[in-house]
Amino acid sequence: MQTTGDQSHGYHGIERRRHRVFLTRNTEYHFRDGICVGVRDRRMGEWLPGHLALRRRLSGSIQLFINGSLAPHPGEPRIGEALFFVSGGRDLITSPLEAIERPPRELVEQYRD
């Protein structure tokens, strides 16, 4: 049972929101129930249908240090960490997160299943 909820507003129950978007400098990674369902270029606003993150489950995040070293973070990704996707073949590490948001309804309706 996940109890992360929005604790900044006093809610400590089960997280029920299905959609999240992780923003890096250039890219938006859209998730439904932990699976990447859309990747969008932030400058152009265009969806990137061939992106490696699509249809992949987030494996965790990577903390990047000034000296160039990396450390895995198994919990929820935090601002400043890079998303990490593991798959049989090509792993993917994004640039550092700048924000984590809920996507607007009009973008959720554009997701391809």
Tell whether the model's pLDDT for residue 43 goes beyond 60: yes
Interatomic CA distance for residues 71 and 80, integer angstroms = 12
pLDDT, tens digit (0-9, with 9 covering 90-100), for 47-102:
999 999 999 999 999 998 889 888 988 788 999 999 999 877 788 999 999 999 99
Instruction: Yes or no: say if 96 and 66 are a contact pair by the CB < 8 Å rule.
Output: no
Q: What's the pLDDT band for 44 if we cut at 50, 70, 90?
A: very high
